[in-house]
Structure 1
């Protein structure tokens, strides 16, 4: 009896697990934007949409660069309002706009500390589904000497070549350790973290008579191809703030004026011209030969037939009536008339 109950319990768990898994697949979440740049003091609305029939929970997480995610809020689909946690609780700068299919997060009076990646997530039967997140970059600082990041605006690259991206970081009055991050944005993909340079200021120097600490970081890339085209952003996390550079755009050089391409096209044009001339001459010769043969055939057909008097003669026949001298009645009755035919040769 106990074994039967155990089997029934396992079957029930299996069926419920399958149903939960199928229901979880029907819940999807998505965010509109992947990168947002704003100024200190502005506000930003991070939109999150969900679809499905399951009664799921929805979450907002904040993840500053180099730190673990922080729970901002939760929202149950059957409820009207969401709940904030930790430092976001009772904070008027953070509000939720929830409804059927929406879970939007609005941040007012932005500060440098709000620079981070914000994730919208859903959960059903203890299974979490995350979106790709929205990275928020807030410009401006309350420091006397603000941190800044400088990058070259663009770089021209060649297929199979190499390039080194430079990022110059001025950390201002903050002399603590910092971390540098590289993001890539292209038409095929949204901004994503591709490289991290951890703590350590071995590449930094302090200028005399100034409060500025300058650091230079490089991002070398080799064997370049079309997948490397895009804009690369350098970001630094230091003293509780995150500062982004304006980005360096990588693009392939225009090979329209390349000497190799010009030579190739010139050779192709010359070859094509020669080929056309040869074909035209061949067509002309063929047409001329056909015209000569046609003229000769017409001349033969229109010429008068050769004289063949020795092989043919035209015969004309005529009937002659001759009056014969009087004969005896007996002879006349025997032969009434005689026809003599004469042939005349022309």
Structure 2
């Protein structure tokens, strides 16, 4: 029987739609029981993943930060229950797997702020990776808020004490400068005081010496001579 091109296209379309209906009605092989978790920094958290079906051979955990693509955390081989971590999660003791019959739980200890994300448990069926519902982990940073508040309080107190110390030093310097200026104006220096005392103790004497043995002419031409005497009391 020869099939025309239109019939062939119609056949492929029906086959594709039938396959999509099967996928839509198919029951998911993995699921997570919690959609939202709120935790505190430093606590421990277990994300639970359950699976069913004999066709499940590998299980995965993914971490997706808002605005970024999912990053692979771990891979579990169901037959030997051997799990391995990848990239920055490898050799990180905070991340461990709790595996068993029909479960692949991810445990995170000593939670950090950076652990806030959506975590997906997934499996591979043929060439398709099937994701579970996902669990949103929100970190309550109360401890960090307390630490930052305490640091801000201490910093504020130190700034106030430093400002008071600077104000006190400036005030002391101003008072000291004013006192020295007043002292200089009221009490002259030692050199100035001695100069004033010497000037006060100077007595000048003007003596007119008349030479008796000289002639009248010479007597008329006699010059007055001044002799200065300094007397210190």
TM-score range (shorter-chain normalised) is: 0.5 to 0.7
2:121 maps to which residue? 234
Unaligned runs of 5+ in 2: 1-8, 10-15, 82-98
RMSD (Å) for aligned C-alpha atoms = 4.8
Distance 1:252 1:338, change over 3 A: same
Distance 1:198 1:153, change over 3 A: same
Residues 98-118 of structure 1, C-alpha deviation per residue, up to 9 Å, x if partnerless?
xxxxxxxxxxx7998xxxxxx
User: Which structure shows the bigger proportion of residues in strand conformation?
Assistant: 1
User: Which structure shows the bigger proportion of residues in helix conformation?
Assistant: 2
Q: Secondary structure at the match of 1:178?
A: coil
Residues 157-193 of structure 1, C-alpha deviation per residue, up to 9 Å, x if partnerless?
5554321112355x6xxx5342432123458986225
Of 14, 30, 54, the residue aligned with 1:176 is 54
Of 85, 105, 116, the residue aligned with 1:218 is 105
Q: Find the aligned partners of 1:253 and 1:278 in 2 and give their Cα distance.
A: 40
- TM-score (normalised: structure 1): 0.39
Residues 279-326 of structure 1, C-alpha deviation per residue, up to 9 Å, x if partnerless?
322331222112211221233459997455763023568899xxxxxx
2:223 maps to which residue? 339
Give the aligned length: 187
Distance 1:337 1:161, change over 3 A: same
Distance 1:237 1:309, change over 3 A: closer
- 1:162 matched to 2:40? The reply is no
Contact 1:156 1:252 in 2 (8 A): yes
Q: Which has the higher contact order (CA 8 A, sep 6+)?
A: 2
2:93 maps to which residue? none
Q: Find the aligned partners of 2:182 and 2:226 in 1 and give their Cα distance.
A: 47
Q: Secondary structure at the match of 1:339?
A: coil
Contact 1:183 1:194 in 2 (8 A): yes
Q: Find the aligned partners of 2:144 and 2:75 in 1 and give their Cα distance.
A: 35
- TM-score (normalised: structure 2): 0.53
Contact 1:167 1:217 in 2 (8 A): yes
Q: Find the aligned partners of 2:171 and 2:120 in 1 and give their Cα distance.
A: 66
